[in-house]
Every structure is written in C-alpha cells, then in structure tokens.
Structure 1
Amino acid sequence: MSVLDRYALSRRRLLTAFGASAVTALSIPLESRAALAQAVFKTYPFQLGVASGDPSPDGFVIWTRLAPEPFEIGYGMPMAPVAVDWEVGDSPNFKTIVAKGTAIAPPELGHAVHVEVGGLQPGRDYWYRFTAGRDRSVAGRARTTPALGAALDRVRFAVAGCQNYETGYYTAYRRLAEDNPDFVFCYGDYIYEGRGSRITPNGGRPIENIRQHFGDEIYALDDYRRRYAQYKLDADLQAAHAAAPWFTVWDDHETDNNWVGDLDQDGTDPKLFNLRRQAAVQAYYENMPLRASSFPVGTSLQIYRRAAYGQLLNLNLLDTRQFRTDQPCNDKQSWCDAVTAPKAEVIGAMQEKWLMGGLTSSKATWNILAQQVMMMDLDRDPGPGVEVSSDSWAGYRIPRGRLLSKIRDAKVGNVVVLTGDEHQNFAGDLFVDGARHEGAPIASEFVITSISSGGDGNDQRDDFAKIQAANPILKFNNNQRGYAICDVTPKAFVTEFKVLDAVTRKDGKLSTRAKWALEAGKPGIFGA
C-alpha cells in the first residue's frame, strides 16, 4: 500500500470516528509528508490568523486556515492536501516546546487545520503557532481549564458576538484582547450573510457603510468561505482570537437571518434551503476552533456541549436554531395563538434532556446557560395587550415555561443565562411568567450587546425606556456597542458591560457602562 493510500485510509477512518481519541484531527506521520503538496507560497498563507478553542483540563483545539489569496478562486492554494507543522510552548518565547506535530490542511475543508492538543497541564497558559513551508504564523495564547473538581478563587471571561462587518469597526475586539480573559464565549452572528449595500439607515437618514461586504448574498460553500475570510482578515478580530481560547456557538446569520430547522425567512423549499445549510455548516466548522466531535454531517453540526471550570462554574453551550420549530406570528413582534402552541420547541427534546441532566447533576457553584436569543419575557409594546419578540424565547411560551419550571422544581441554584442577538445590553431576572413575576427569580439573564451590528447607537433607545419602565423584571438596558467581562468567584457573579462611544471610527473610546451582579445563594440581580 502506497503512502497516499495509507493517508487516504487513515483520513477516512478519522472522519468516520470523528477523531475522538486523536491528538490531532486529520494528522499524518512525518515520514509521509513527501506525498503531500509542497508548501511554497507567493503570498503569506496565514492571513486569516490563528485561534484556539474548546479547552479541556489537558488541552485545547488550535486552528488556522491556509489562504494566501482569500478572495480568489481556490484562495491561492493547490487542490491537494498540505502539511502544516504546529508546536505548543509553555511561554511566549517557545523556549520549551511541550507538544508538536504535523497536521493536514485538506482541500475538502478549505485547507483548514483543527489540531486537538492533549497531554498538557490543567489551569495554565500555553502558546501555539503553525509553520507551512517557509512561513510561520503569529503566536496565540491558549489556556487549559482547571482540573475536574478543583477549588477556584476566580474565573474571568468575555462575552461577545454580532459583528456585522459593514456597520462598524472591531475596536471592541482589540480592547477585549487587552483584557486577557480566561476564555471568550462567542454567542453567534460571527458573519452576516446579506448582500452588501452602499447605504444603511441611521435615524431615518441613509449613510455610507463603514465597510463593504465582498460580493452578493452568500449561498454556496465558496461564497461562505470568502465571507469568513473577509471577517477574519480584520486585525482586531485576529487579536481577540490570539488572546484566549473561544467557545463558539452559532445564531442565525452564519446561515440566513432568523432561520430555524429547515426553514428560512423567505419560504424557500426546505430541500433547497438544506443545500444552503450544508454549505453554511461546513464553512462554520472550517473557520471555528471546534473539536472533531463537531464535524458536520449533512446539514447538522453538534454544537451544544459542556465545559467545567472546577467547582466554580459549569458552562452549558446551547443551540437554539437547529432544533427549533417555526417562529409564531409570521416571525413578527406580536401576539397570536401560536405563541402558546403546545408542541413548539426551542432547543428540542433531546437537548433539553441533556441540559437538565447536566444542571441537576452539577456540583458547581454557578450554572451557566450560554446561548443566543433572549429568555426574558418582555412585553415589547407597553399598553393594551402584549407583544413579544417571536424570535426570542418569549415567542415560545410552552418550552420556555417548561424549562424554567424544571430548573425551579429541581432546585438548581445560581443559574445565569448569557445571551446575544439583541444588539443591546440587558440585565434582568427570569420567572416562568415574566408578566406576573411571582415568587423569587428562577434565574437571571445578562444580554450582551453587539461588537458592531447596529452602528454607534446611544445610551438607550426611546422605545426601550418605555419597555423597561413597563417590565419590572428588566433592571438595565443600554444601546451601545461593546462586550462584557464576567468576573466569577465562589461568592459572586459580576457582569461588567463595556461599551464604546463609537464604532464608526477606529478610535472609539471604551468605558464601563454598568456592573450588575448576583450573590451566590441569593436569587435576583443587583447593581454592583
């Protein structure tokens, strides 16, 4: 059997088994490198940066994607597998190499590399880099999670997402990198799929976009690859990836606005929409630092998963798109009978069972639901009647009430929901029925604003000033761009809302708009 035959066979086996016990997905012995395309690049191949993700006590994923010409057909790469060397050091100068190897960048995955590094020490920083041919990537910092059951004094992490390239600069990501968090939770909307336009509305007056998407609305795999490449070329986003490991989940714009299941917002035949979903799913995996256990299968991606930070917190990463039933009320802010549809789902029965199993068995002080769409049950149009956002949990009254009731009845303590999607900051408490808010809060929710989506914004929109006044569960609202830092100790969970005065220029000034906190064992948030 030839070297190439052995490579093809081992590669098929890895794909079939999802590389569950492999140190590196799609790996190849050093002696087999001669069978691969020789890496000689006219242009720097690591233009999309590096990233790490999904850390564990003994390792993490490290990622890069070779793309010397990101917008060209074939993105400047030969249509053949290419060997990429990687190494992990215990200091920024790589004086001591603690792990190294050679991975494959296959054309089938857009020459992306996902290396699952293992055998490392828990709860400490490491640095990593890649080499292809004569070119070396920048170095990134990763951090393993603490040993299982370890007693921790603190975990400090960032929350970010919703980064429309056209509506603002990524200054917030540069500042996030400077905060040096233990990890980043990205709640989704990493890219936006829409067609670029020359103007966007701003207070009723059109203005030029800050930046312009390359190409039209994206449907095919190559289109999605180019869109990810355009976003990842941003130096500030690259800095945030290189600063800390990320836990990533998707929302809607990685595929199409407000999609759920096999349905899009335009009523496309599901068979056709599933072709688009396949392209979007593959491109998402190619461009995120995900483990091989999330390798795409058709239109599906295993994205709900769990991570533990010693005895301090359990992080439950949810998927609120793939298993959801259609939005009620024609996906409009409204109220209709479908809001109380008995068979409606948001995360689906299997994921809900998995989530509750993890929550009820958790020994951690803090139990985090890291997800995409608001769980607070807000009346969005104060006055006669009630209006809800049909794309949020409030539009799915039965599954929302069921999940919160199970958490309450099981006496799961210190539940914190982290959310994005709204392009605003919110802090509030969760009840089975938010309008009545009877008894003590079951959980609390922090909704984190966008990195750039929505443009500069202001301190608070006029309509949300009225909404906050009419919804006692909502304690805080702000309409600026930025991110959040969550500072977690055995005694308290503090969320610091960091905002920029502008994202339409690169020198936006960062400040802390507010801090809201929870005390362990005491339900309900308070201003810190």
Structure 2
Amino acid sequence: MVSGLPLTTPDHPCVVYTGAVSNRVAAPLIFVLALSLGSLSSACGDDGDPADGGLDASADARDTAPPDTGPPPVCTAVPTVVDTGLTADTDPGIDPATYETDATTIAFDPEAVPASEASFPHGIMAGAMKPDSALFWTHRVGTGDTILRVYRQGAAAGEVVVAYEATVAPDAFGYVRETAAPLAPATVYNYAFFVSDGADGFTTRSGIGRVRTALAPDMALKLTFGATTCTGSVTGFGEPDGERQVLANGGYPALTLLADMEVDALLHLGDMSYNDAAWVVADMRPPADAPALYRSNDLGWGFTQNIQGYRDVLASTGLYFTLDDHEVVDSDAFDPETMVPSRLTAALDTMVQNVPIERGPGGELWASYQWGLTAEVIVTDLRTERLPSTRTTDDAIFVGAEQLAFIKDRLLNSTAHFKLVFSSVNMTNLPGESGWDIPLAFNDRWEGYDSQRRELLDFIIDNGIDDIYFLAGDIHANFVGRLEPEGTSPYARMWEITVGPGASGDNPLGALLEQGILMPQDVFPCEQFVFGSGRTQVATTLELDPLADTLRVRFIDALTEEVLYDDVLQQEP
C-alpha cells in the first residue's frame, strides 16, 4: 500500500491525497501522475504564501499557461449505418409443444409453495443455454428429495406446461447441477427447485427463475443481451467498512437493473467473485483446505452469491461466463507456469461447482453457443493456458493451440451474423501515451503476447470475416473503440466493447477522468474511441438485429440512471 500521492483538482492543483491505495492501483496511478504532473512543479513548489503559488493562490494566477496550438485530433466515429430496410422479429412464432417430447400440462401455482432461504441459501442460476437444453444450478441444504421443475405458462389461467422434471441429487457439498432436455428453442421458461413432502407435493422451494433457450439454427431474431464484469474488490476483506464490503452492501444495483430488463442472456466477462483472500489464506493452510476456502461465505463464492444484485440477475436470465483472474487470485500472482497445479485445480474445480458452466472433454473452459442466424457467443479462457515465458517470442502462447484453432474455426465457419468473442482482457491496442501500457497492465492483455494477437487478427483479415465484436472486462472502466486508431491498421475495422463494470473499485485512469483531472482525450483518445468512462457501477446492453445489420450498445450508470452511451455499430465495408 502507498499513500501521500500528489493529485490535482480543478480547484486545488497542488494537493496531496493522503488515503491508501493498493500497490496494483498505485503503479498506474504513479505512472499517470509522472506523465501529467511535471508541468505543475513550478506552481506547486510549497503550500506557503499565496503570492508564491500555494494552495490559496487565486484561480487567475493558475490559468496563465498558453493554450495548446497543435492541430486538433482527427476523431473517429461509428460507421455510418446503411439502412437495409429490414428489421428482425423478436417472436419465433413456434409451438414449443412440438419440441417438448415429455411435456405435461398441470394445474400448478409455484407461488403457493413457501420459499425457503434455509433450504436454498445461495439462490438459483441457469446457464449453458442451447436450443434444446439448459444447465440449472442451486445449493441445497437439508433433508428431503430435491425436485427441479422447468415449466412455461399454459393456455389457461392456473395451468403450466412442465417441460422437464427430475429428482436431483446434490453433491457432497450440496451443489446441484442438472441439464434439462429436451426443451424448445427460443422459449422462455420458468424454473424452481422444490423440496418433496414425500408424497405428491412440496414443502418448500427456491426462488423462481427465468431462462430463455438459444435460437434454433434457422432463426434470425432480434436479441438483447446484458453484459457485465468486475463485481467486487481486492481491498477490504473482513473489514466492515472496506471497499469489498461497501460494494456488497450496495447490492450491485447494475445487476438488478439488468434483471429488471429481462434480457435474453447475461454475458459475464469475468471477475465475478473476488476470491483473492481465499488464495492467500490457503497459503497458510493444508492443501486440502483450499476448496472449502473458495466455497466459503466470507472469502469465496458464497459471499458473492449472497449479494442481492446477483440474486436478482441470475434468477432473471441465463448466464454465459468466462473467468478472469480474481476467481482464482489477482493477476500479478496468476501465472500458470509457476502456480502450484493442485491449488489452481482446486480453485477452478470450485468455480465450476458454483457457476452453471460446462467443461469440455479435456476439462477446457472455452466453448461456443450459437443463437441461430443472429449471434454466436464464443467463450474463451484467457487465463489458464497462457505461458508468460513465451510472451515476447515469435510463438507467444496466450491461449493454447487447441483453443486458438477452435476460435478460428468458429469465426470462419459460424453461420451466425454476429460473432461475439469473449475476451476477458482487452484485445484493443490501448494507447501507451495515455498511461495504459505500464508493464503490469500491458503484459496481462493480448498486446503483451503480440505474435499470437497478430496471428488471430491477421486470420480474421485474411479470411474477410466480418461482424466480429470483442467483448472485454478486467480494467474497471468501459469503452467502445476500434482495436487500433482509425486509418493506422486493417485491424481498425474491428471494434471492442469493454462492458460494465458491474460494481468495482476505481481504475486510476478512470478515477482521474471522472474527477476532471484528466480529460477524455487524455484517457480515451478520440482517434480510436467513440466512448469511454471511469464509472464503476454500469449496466451494459447489446441489441443485435441480424436483418438490419446493427448492434446497438448502451451503457447506463446504475447509481444515477444516466445513459452514458447509446449508439449503433455496423460493420464497415
């Protein structure tokens, strides 16, 4: 931790910040200050007599610097939208019963069954949605059979159509993961877990959830996805007034805002649960203790699952998720080449226990989910396969060869109009002159593994693949921008949307931007970015229309309800 950093404000350009910030935050902050405060040294010599330029000097005495006479920047812009004259529908116009081979219609009122927090202490989730299935999750405590019921509203009042019902068995730690199939595509279902009364009824239930299945392969419908990342903080573990607890006490309103929208799916770009302290405490415990620490209500997943915003949003829609670093440990310690393998395995296994995601046959965490002709969601794993020792070589390994081949295949052969690539860390060439290239940050994103970044982007350009949008998180800020400044590279035809963050601590650059110490051009130069902010409790939505060929992007500050950005992207010729 460091403190006593010199900062400026519009009213007081020569002040000292006396609070403490973490080393990870301090490094880029000090770097930015080194770039930006040199010109203040003559005005900030000491805080003495106002005549000598101290803190009480008048504003007029400070505003004597000559204006910048350089040429104005040539700003980029979103591509001009070409009207196709078409708009996709939102209704699939199908009869779900033709797909639900085991469906039954019954009289049923789920609200009549008492909800029990004690029986289902960590809520409910659904994920891994496909056209004919979804994966359902809960954490069960207590005795009695547990029943999963997936249903939709029937034709008559008081009736439901039960598409799937099963008695499910919690694992040794109480986790339930159940894939329900067959379901109908593009269909909204409700679901809940019930405790059997031993006969034909139920004694208690979980909350009631909502999920939509993915579109059938031939469907081209308009979709709205919510997106988030970075919910938590590495500071304040165990402190009632620490940043982590303060954020949790606020309930993560950006997630509740997304829940209220009932989006078609939630895209989570990682840092869902800040479990860093579980890793640290595990250093002092026997190896067998690590999973319990990651599951715990104070250090691990249990803490995150009990926050109201997550209860709201995860019950409102299905989830696609990729990890970033904090699900395991902060990035400066997350090195697959040097970490104790059993510790990493424990953290990842516990993560899979706690989130409705699928692992591949080799244990891989990357996957792809296609929503008809509209969108393919390509979920990558940018943490567990990277080899930092190769970073500066001509054969840098940010993702393994098998995953890279998978990403290329899905980009090249997808029949979906939009290809949404999960990139938990940025693919964008973030401007070094703005302070983004300190080694800790640069080495942690695609830019730090330049040869593999160029291999993937060159593959996209060489094959003429359009309508690819990278979705990123990690940086505790948000932006919409080109991968490179406009006109400097073929890569500039591609865009990245850094979503959220849902409820994070400040990015130092973003904090200085929001305080007016740095200007937007200093942090997100307009030659490359059309939007950027340092707001930290933000809801992001993506509205995709394959027939109009448009992707509408919205950022909403959940604390102020201000719409920070609302515009439409379209692939350039």
TM superposition score normalised by structure 1: 0.73
Q: Distance in 2 between matches of 1:232 and 1:144?
A: 23
Q: Distance in 2 between matches of 1:43 and 1:375?
A: 41
Please state how far the C-alpha of 1:472 moved relative to its aligned partner.
2.2
Q: Deviations over 1:261-314 (max 9, x none)?
A: 524xxxxx53xx2222122112101111124x458x7xxx42211111111111
Q: Within 5 Å, which residues of 2 pair with 1:131-280? A: 131-133=194-196, 134-152=203-221, 154-164=222-232, 165-168=244-247, 169=250, 170-195=252-277, 220-226=290-296, 227-258=300-331, 259-260=333-334, 262-263=336-337, 270=339, 273-280=340-347
Which residue, out of 374, 381, 384, partners 1:322? 384
Equivalent residue letter for 1:47 = P
Q: Deviations over 1:463-522 (max 9, x none)?
A: 57354465722332101121210011022011101223xxxxxxx332210124321x42
Which residue, out of 432, 446, 455, partners 1:380? 432
Q: 1:131–1:262: structure 2 CA closer, same or farther, 3 Å change rule? A: same
Is this contact kept in 1: 2:447–2:453, CA < 8 A? yes
Q: Report the secondary structure of 2:163's partner residue.
A: strand
Q: 1:278–1:517: structure 2 CA closer, same or farther, 3 Å change rule? A: same
Equivalent residue number for residue 163 of structure 2 = 98
Equivalent residue letter for 1:317 = V
Q: Report the secondary structure of 1:341's partner residue.
A: coil
Q: Distance in 2 between matches of 1:94 and 1:351?
A: 46
Equivalent residue number for residue 4 of structure 1 = none
Please state how far the C-alpha of 1:386 moved relative to its aligned partner.
9.0
Q: Distance in 2 between matches of 1:288 and 1:215?
A: 21
Equivalent residue number for residue 125 of structure 1 = 188
Which residue, out of 345, 348, 353, partners 2:400? 348
Equivalent residue number for residue 441 of structure 1 = 492
Equivalent residue number for residue 203 of structure 1 = none
Which residue, out of 522, 526, 533, partners 1:478? 533
Q: Deviations over 1:333-392 (max 9, x none)?
A: xxxxx8642122112211111111111112221111112001111233359x99762211
Query: How many residue pairs get matched?
Result: 419
Q: 1:440–1:274: structure 2 CA closer, same or farther, 3 Å change rule? A: closer
Please state how far the C-alpha of 1:215 moved relative to its aligned partner.
11
Q: Does 2:457 correspond to 1:401?
A: no
Gaps of 5+ in 2: 1-114, 197-202, 233-243
Please state how far the C-alpha of 1:66 moved relative to its aligned partner.
1.7
Is this contact kept in 1: 2:116–2:204, CA < 8 A? no
Q: 1:324–1:405: structure 2 CA closer, same or farther, 3 Å change rule? A: same
Q: Report the secondary structure of 1:396's partner residue.
A: helix
Equivalent residue letter for 2:168 = A
Equivalent residue number for residue 31 of structure 2 = none
Q: Report the secondary structure of 2:384's partner residue.
A: coil
Is this contact kept in 2: 1:156–1:485, CA < 8 A? yes
Q: Does 2:419 correspond to 1:367?
A: yes
Is this contact kept in 2: 1:194–1:216, CA < 8 A? no
Q: Distance in 1 between matches of 2:411 and 2:563?
A: 32
Q: Distance in 2 between matches of 1:452 and 1:217?
A: 29
Q: Does 2:543 correspond to 1:487?
A: yes
Equivalent residue number for residue 200 of structure 1 = none
Please state how far the C-alpha of 1:393 moved relative to its aligned partner.
1.1
Q: Within 5 Å, which residues of 2 pair with 1:333-344? A: 340-344=392-396
Is this contact kept in 2: 1:252–1:321, CA < 8 A? yes
Q: Distance in 2 between matches of 1:216 and 1:163?
A: 24
Q: Deviations over 1:196-217 (max 9, x none)?
A: 9xxxxxxxxxxxxxxxx99999
Is this contact kept in 2: 1:422–1:449, CA < 8 A? no
Which residue, out of 44, 60, 82, partners 2:134? 60
Q: Distance in 1 between matches of 2:208 and 2:118?
A: 15
Is this contact kept in 1: 2:282–2:290, CA < 8 A? no
Is this contact kept in 2: 1:254–1:280, CA < 8 A? yes
Equivalent residue letter for 2:432 = R
Q: Distance in 1 between matches of 2:231 and 2:159?
A: 33
Q: Distance in 1 between matches of 2:159 and 2:495?
A: 42
Is this contact kept in 2: 1:404–1:442, CA < 8 A? no
Equivalent residue letter for 2:415 = K
Please state how far the C-alpha of 1:194 moved relative to its aligned partner.
3.0
Equivalent residue number for residue 80 of structure 2 = none
Is this contact kept in 2: 1:449–1:479, CA < 8 A? no
Q: 1:497–1:284: structure 2 CA closer, same or farther, 3 Å change rule? A: same
Equivalent residue letter for 1:52 = A
Q: Distance in 2 between matches of 1:47 and 1:262?
A: 33
Q: Distance in 2 between matches of 1:241 and 1:313?
A: 21
Equivalent residue letter for 2:431 = D
Q: 1:419–1:518: structure 2 CA closer, same or farther, 3 Å change rule? A: same
Q: Distance in 1 between matches of 2:117 and 2:282?
A: 22
Q: Report the secondary structure of 1:132's partner residue.
A: strand
Q: Does 2:353 correspond to 1:303?
A: no
Q: Distance in 2 between matches of 1:427 and 1:442?
A: 13
Q: Report the secondary structure of 2:534's partner residue.
A: strand
Q: Report the secondary structure of 1:90's partner residue.
A: strand
Equivalent residue letter for 1:426 = F
Q: Distance in 2 between matches of 1:188 and 1:417?
A: 14
Gaps of 5+ in 1: 1-40, 68-76, 197-212, 264-268, 328-337, 501-507, 524-528
Equivalent residue letter for 2:223 = V
Q: Report the secondary structure of 1:96's partner residue.
A: strand
Q: Report the secondary structure of 1:150's partner residue.
A: coil
User: RMSD of aligned C-alpha atoms?
Assistant: 3.1
Equivalent residue letter for 1:323 = E
Q: Distance in 2 between matches of 1:126 and 1:375?
A: 35
Q: Deviations over 1:174-220 (max 9, x none)?
A: 11100110000111111112349xxxxxxxxxxxxxxxx99999971
Is this contact kept in 2: 1:90–1:97, CA < 8 A? yes
Q: Report the secondary structure of 1:95's partner residue.
A: strand
Is this contact kept in 2: 1:160–1:483, CA < 8 A? yes
Equivalent residue number for residue 356 of structure 2 = 289
Equivalent residue number for residue 33 of structure 2 = none
Q: Distance in 2 between matches of 1:368 and 1:470?
A: 24
Q: Distance in 2 between matches of 1:43 and 1:518?
A: 43
Q: Distance in 2 between matches of 1:279 and 1:237?
A: 23
Equivalent residue letter for 1:166 = Q
Is this contact kept in 1: 2:386–2:400, CA < 8 A? yes
Equivalent residue letter for 2:245 = E
Is this contact kept in 2: 1:378–1:471, CA < 8 A? no
Q: Distance in 2 between matches of 1:85 and 1:469?
A: 51
Equivalent residue letter for 1:522 = E
